[in-house]
């Protein structure tokens, strides 16, 4: 029994040894774990780099956002500025022609300009869609027609001193056409057929001399239906006047306010005037000038519109091009 009581003791001893050695191995492992601690010193540097990149990224994105928003605003402005061109197309294609204007083939020119402006609107809008991917081609696509539009507008305004007969509807072209006897005979017959002077006669049957002189007349009415004011004739009715003695000027008749230094009538108009309702002053220089002024008033307005629209669109497309280039630079820096 003593042997049996002592025998389990040696068997338990190894178990105790094993239980003691295992914690020692674990303790050794636990002591070895803090060894990589020096790597923890690099963590703040990595975090600093990440934080600096995170701070820099929002700044670039804000600039890109500003560039895109500016480009969008300028593109919207360019489109809004081009809308009057579309309105002018409708005006040119559906506007009623002036009397006798078709004799100079101006309605064809009016239709041609209307179609050209329609293409100008399409090109200007297409340039806005090409802008994001092709900024330079889109800019040139809009600028080249705008330069042509500006040139045509200046020609209609008479800005070129060395105008030729080929520049239609320019001031010098009008004068050359009207001074041509063949053209003027046709225009004179057309003015007579419109019965402008007959209508003026009917409207002024009960009008007195002073009231008639204060009445606002159209350039054709004052130039073709009545004698020049400088002739000093006495008023009977709108188409009947009495010549003064020796052509003396009647100071009671004021000069026509529409006449300027360039459109002064010739002295021969006083002798050309007749009370014959079929002749009146249709052969007067004042009648020619009145017809020219009537047409010039329309085409000068169109020329001024073309000049202003071309300048506005050129400036808007130029700023849009610069904003697009800035947007591309900011996006590349952000990448």
pLDDT digits (tens, 9 = 90+) for 132-150: 888 888 889 889 999 999 9
Alpha-carbon span 127 to 54, nearest angstrom: 37
Residue 39 pLDDT > 90 = no
Asked if 278 and 195 count as a contact pair (C-beta separation under 8 A), the reply is: no
Alpha-carbon gap, residue 77 to 82, rounded angstroms: 9
pLDDT digits (tens, 9 = 90+) for 225-260: 999 888 888 888 888 898 865 444 443 344 444 444
Averaged pLDDT for residues 205-210: 83
Average the pLDDT over 276-303 and give the result.
90
Q: Which residue has the higher pLDDT, 263 or 167?
A: 167
Which position has the higher pLDDT, 64 or 292?
A: 292
Q: Where are the domains of the chain?
A: 62-170+303-333, 174-244+265-291
Average pLDDT (96-115) is: 84
- Integer CA distances (angstroms), 78 to 210, 222, 260, in order: 53, 44, 40
pLDDT at residue 63 is higher than 80: no
Eight-class DSSP state of 224: I
Contact at 8 Å (CB) between 175 and 158? no
What whole-number distance in Å separates Cα of residue 260 and Cα of residue 264?
6
Average pLDDT over residues 37-42: 47
The band of 286, judged by pLDDT with boundaries at 50, 70 and 90, is: very high
pLDDT-derived band at 121 (thresholds 50, 70, 90) equals very high
Give the pLDDT confidence score for residue 65 in this predicted structure: 78
Indicate the range of 62-71, 109-118, 159-168, 258-267 predicted with least confidence.
258-267
* Residue that is written with structure tokens 């000068």 in the block: 300
Q: Quick one: CA dihedral 170, 172, 174, 176, positive or negative?
A: negative
What percentage of the chain carries pLDDT values higher than 70?
Answer: 71
3-state secondary structure 200-217: HHHHCCCCCHHHHHCCCC
pTM of the model: 0.70
What is the pLDDT at residue 11?
46
Give residue 257's pLDDT: 41
What are the DSSP E strand ranges found in the chain?
Answer: 234-237, 240-242
User: Any idea what the Cα angle at residue 212 is, between residues 211 and 218, rounded to 5°?
Assistant: 130
Distance CA 77, CA 247 (A): 61
Q: Is the pLDDT of residue 311 over 90?
A: yes
Residue 88 structure tokens: 């002018």
Q: Which are the contacts of 38, defined by CB distance < 8 A and separation ≥ 6?
A: none
Structure tokens that stand for 318 in this block: 């130029």
| Residue 159 pLDDT level (bands cut at 50, 70, 90) | confident
- Position 91 scores a pLDDT of 85
Residue 13 has pLDDT above 90, yes or no: no
Q: Distance between CA 187 and CA 196 in Å, rounded?
A: 13
R_g of the chain computed on alpha carbons: 45
Find the helix or strand (DSSP H, E) in which 37 lies: none
Residue among 123, 121, 128 at smallest CA distance from 90: 121
What mean pLDDT is reported for the chain?
76
Torsions phi, psi of 240, nearest 5?
-135, 120
Q: How confident is the model at residue 330 (pLDDT cuts 50, 70, 90)?
A: confident
Measured between alpha carbons, how far is 127 from 135 in angstroms, rounded to an integer?
8
**Which residue in 148, 314, 289 sits closest to 220, CA to CA?**
289
What is the distance between the alpha carbons of residues 107 and 127, in angstroms, rounded to a whole number?
30
Residues contacting 165, CB < 8 A, separation 6+? 173, 176
Q: What is the pLDDT of residue 334?
A: 66
| Beta carbons within 8 Å of 124's beta carbon, 6+ residues apart | 78, 79, 82, 85, 142, 145, 313, 317
For position 245, what pLDDT does the model report?
58
Question: What are the structure tokens assigned to 112, written together?
Answer: 């041609």
CA–CA separation, 249 and 230 (whole Å)? 6
Instruction: Quote the pLDDT of residue 184.
Output: 93
Distance, in Å, from the CA atom of 246 to the CA atom of 41, rounded to the nearest integer, reads: 118
Q: Highest mean pLDDT range out of 22-26, 231-235, 284-288, 322-326?
A: 284-288
Give the pLDDT score at 146.
Answer: 93
């Amino acid at each position: 029994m003593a042997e049996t009581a002592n025998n389990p003791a040696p068997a338990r001893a190894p178990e105790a040894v094993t239980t003691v050695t295992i914690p020692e191995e674990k303790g050794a492992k636990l002591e070895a774990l803090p060894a990589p601690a020096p790597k923890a010193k690099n963590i703040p540097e990595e975090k600093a780099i990440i934080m600096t990149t995170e701070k820099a990224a929002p700044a670039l994105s804000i600039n890109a956002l500003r560039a895109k928003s500016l480009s969008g605003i300028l593109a919207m402005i360019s489109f809004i500025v081009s809308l009057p061109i579309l309105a002018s197309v409708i005006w040119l294609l559906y506007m009623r022609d002036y009397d006798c204007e078709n004799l100079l083939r101006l309605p064809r020119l009016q239709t041609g300009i209307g179609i050209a402006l329609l293409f100008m609107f399409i090109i200007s809008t297409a340039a806005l869609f090409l802008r994001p991917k092709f900024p330079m081609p889109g800019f040139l696509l809009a600028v080249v027609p705008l330069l042509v539009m500006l040139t045509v507008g200046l020609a209609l305004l008479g800005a070129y001193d060395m105008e030729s007969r080929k520049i239609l509807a320019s001031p010098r072209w009008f004068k050359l056409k009207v001074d041509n006897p063949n053209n003027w005979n046709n225009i004179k017959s057309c003015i007579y057929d419109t019965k402008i002077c007959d209508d003026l006669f009917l409207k002024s049957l009960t009008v007195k001399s002073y009231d008639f002189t204060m009445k606002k007349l159209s350039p054709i009415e004052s130039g073709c239906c009545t004698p020049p004011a400088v002739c000093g004739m006495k008023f009977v009715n709108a188409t009947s006047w009495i010549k003064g003695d020796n052509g003396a000027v009647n100071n009671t008749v004021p000069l026509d306010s529409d006449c300027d230094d360039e459109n002064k009538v010739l002295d021969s108009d006083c002798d050309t005037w007749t009370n014959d309702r079929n002749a009146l002053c249709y052969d007067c220089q004042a009648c020619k000038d009145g017809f020219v002024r009537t047409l010039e008033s329309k085409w000068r307005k169109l020329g001024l519109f073309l000049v202003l629209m071309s300048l506005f669109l050129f400036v808007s497309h130029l700023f849009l091009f610069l904003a697009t280039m800035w947007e591309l630079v900011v996006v590349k820096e952000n990448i």
